[in-house]
Amino acid sequence: MGVLPWVAWYAFRRHTAYPLSAFAEALTNTAFGFMRAYILVALWRERPALGGYDVADAVTFCFLTQALIGPVQIFGGMELTRRIRDGDVAIDLYRPVDLQGWWLADDLARGLAALLLRGGPPMVAGALVFPLRFPGPAGVAAFAVAVLLAMLVGFGLRYLVALGAFWLNDERGLHSAEVVLALFFSGMILPLVAFPGVLGEVARATPWAALIQVPADVFLGRHTGWGLVGALAFQAAWAAALLAAGRALTLAARRKLVIHGG
């Protein structure tokens, strides 16, 4: 077994070490899910076919997005940023392991842990109150692929932000800007199908749409056949582009490294 599977395994153990804490976060996500759900119900009652969704689609989308907050890490950053600020990243660069590969393995394990510990409660609670839509076995398999690709896109975006600390020394402004863009363009606040005209087209073409909107539409069965292939290809293309950009920026960062405090 190579190094990276071990990195992923120990990261998974670390992120599942405190299940009660994860459950508390899941309860918070669930509470916000109900607040968002009633707002969407009111909106869709006024506009019953908005964006091609019905009320059940909109409510399912709402609780699904709450379940995906942890896996795609909409709000969070990366520990790598602290290591860059502290200079500990020098140790990471000395390791005989690719920096990007190390943190990708760590992040995928974190995302899987979040999905297992935080993904279920919002969906279960929502299903007890609202008539949610659930896919069949084929839809579940397609959704699993879409979530994996969403986690790759999420990592690609956050990794680029983290590397910004090599030049900015403090990436918090960059991270805040990325979070705002992610909230707006991913569908986290409102499904992108509700965005009108050119704004909707632009929003659905951004990498943030691959985080929430595309997996949710796959879950709801709005993509079938070649449409499903196209949706997954959209995610895969953004994942590949962002990972390639991260690779190039990593090489540039190696020449920029400054260790604070001497």
pLDDT band at residue 261 under the 50/70/90 scheme: very low
Is the pLDDT assigned to residue 256 strictly greater than 70?
Answer: no
Mean pLDDT lowest among 2-16, 48-62, 68-82, 83-97: 83-97
Mean pLDDT to the nearest integer, 236-255? 91
pLDDT of residue 1: 57
Nearest to 161 by CA among 227, 253, 232: 253
Which residue, chain included where needed, has tokens 């200079």?
87
pLDDT exceeds 80 at position 44: yes
Distance CA 37, CA 118 (A): 18
- Predicted TM-score of the model (pTM): 0.91
How high does pLDDT run on average in the chain? 88
Residue 254: its pLDDT value, please? 76
CB 242 within 8 A of CB 236: no
Least confident of 116-120, 144-148, 209-213: 116-120
Q: How far, in Å, CA of 69 to CA of 84, rounded?
A: 25
Give 83-111 pLDDT, tens digit per residue: 888 777 877 787 788 889 999 999 999 99
The letter for the amino acid at 161 is V
Does residue 144 register a pLDDT over 80? Answer: yes
**Higher model confidence: residue 6 or residue 253?**
6
The helix (H) or strand (E) run that includes residue 134 is: none
CA dihedral 70, 72, 73, 78 (to 10 degrees): 130
Q: What angle do CA 88, 240, 202 make, to 5 degrees?
A: 110
Between helices 55-72 and 137-163, what is the axis angle to 10°? 50
